[in-house]
């Protein structure tokens, strides 16, 4: 199995959000999680309203059963939208979150690049980084 196969499997049957759908989901209370590296965030800007969680600890911070979860990870029905630079690693991260029971986890199709291409703004506020 190649990474392309793994990526396709992670996206199978999942509705990935467009930038406009992400705006609506966030307004309804979806938790937006930015897994981009610091250098990518510096280059592209901070994503409005997102929590920054390093990919290496993502599942532990968002699994409601984890003793290392963040306060926002209250239950498995939480809608989590993962974002990355181009929408590849976010698909894998969302699949991993679904595997630990966050059945509504998805990602932003095309990542921050799609957000910027849609003419949507980045934030001037400092990032909300969760360790």
Q: What is the DSSP letter of 36?
A: -
Q: Tens digit of pLDDT for each residue in 28-84?
A: 999 999 999 999 999 999 999 999 999 999 999 999 999 999 999 999 999 999 999
pLDDT given at position 117: 98
The confidence score (pLDDT) of residue 77 equals 96
Whole-number Å distance between alpha carbons of 22 and 16 = 9
Kindly state the average pLDDT of the residues 109-131. 96
How far is C-alpha 40 from the geometric centre of its chain's CA atoms?
15
What does the domain layout of the chain look like in residue ranges?
A: 3-130
What pLDDT sits at residue 24?
98
The pLDDT tens digits of the residues spanning 86-95 come to 999 999 999 9
Q: Are 82 and 47 in contact (CB under 8 A)?
A: no
CATH class of 3-130: alpha beta
Give the C-alpha separation, 123 to 64, whole Å: 28
pLDDT, tens digit, 9 for 90 and up, residues 6-15: 999 999 999 9
Decide if pLDDT at 131 tops 90. Answer: no
Q: DSSP for 52-117?
A: EE-GGGHHHHH-TT-TT--TT---TT--EEEE-SSSSHHHHHHHHHHHTT-TT-EEBTTHHHHHHH
């Amino acid at each position: 199995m190649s990474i392309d196969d793994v990526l396709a499997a992670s996206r199978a049957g999942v509705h990935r959000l467009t930038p406009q759908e992400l705006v609506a989901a966030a307004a309804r209370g979806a938790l937006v999680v930015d897994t981009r590296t610091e250098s990518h965030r510096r280059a592209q800007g901070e994503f409005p309203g997102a929590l920054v969680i390093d990919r290496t600890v993502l599942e532990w911070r968002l699994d409601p059963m984890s003793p290392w979860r963040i306060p926002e990870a209250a239950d498995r029905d939480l809608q989590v939208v993962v974002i990355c630079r181009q929408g590849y690693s976010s698909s894998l991260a969302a699949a991993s979150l679904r595997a630990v029971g966050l059945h509504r986890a998805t990602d932003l199709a095309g990542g921050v690049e799609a957000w910027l291409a849609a003419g949507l703004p980045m934030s001037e506020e400092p990032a909300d980084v969760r360790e």
